[in-house]
Amino acid sequence: MNEMQPPPPRRIGRSIGALLAGMFAGVILSLGTDVVLHAMGVFPPWGQSMVGYEGSLLLATVYRTVYGVAGSYLAARLAPDRPMLHAMILGIAALVVTTVGAIVTWNKGPAFGPHWYPLALIVLALPTAWAGGKLRLMQLRARGDG
């Protein structure tokens, strides 16, 4: 790039849109899967104890991880520039939300499940975001854009 040229304009609106799209994709996929699994009896009825459903929480951890990667990939894919930054911003948002959720529900009873579950979501927030961003960077390199 010629040093005399001004830097390209930041496309804040597109960045915000990319982040919102990634976030909403992860939330919609997670909640949609939750609804289906509750309806199928894999999870107990809403509001009832998760005691005895620890295997289901492991399943929830797995699909939330996959959806976290997918949401972060989508944010990186739609980002006007710096795809990894967008993915990691989404990961930081997920880290904050899961931490707040864990704090608020920590001793609220068995309906919220064992303590390992929110801790797993906290621990996985940034690695899943990184994986989604990395997938996008690998895609760009394969195309010769990165």
Collapsing DSSP to helix, strand or coil, 113 comes out as coil
Residue 1 confidence (pLDDT):
47
Pick from 55, 37, 128: which is nearest to 87 by CA?
128
Tokens of 2: 């010629």
Confidence band for 109, pLDDT divided at 50, 70 and 90: confident
Could you give the C-alpha distances from 105 to 36, 69, 108, in angstroms and in order? Answer: 23, 25, 5
- Per-domain residue ranges of the chain: 14-42+50-143
- Give yes or no for residue 25 having a pLDDT over 80: yes
Q: What is the mean pLDDT of the chain?
A: 91
Could you give the C-alpha distances from 76 to 17, 21, 43, 62, 129, in angstroms and in order? Answer: 11, 10, 32, 21, 9
Residue 132 confidence (pLDDT):
98
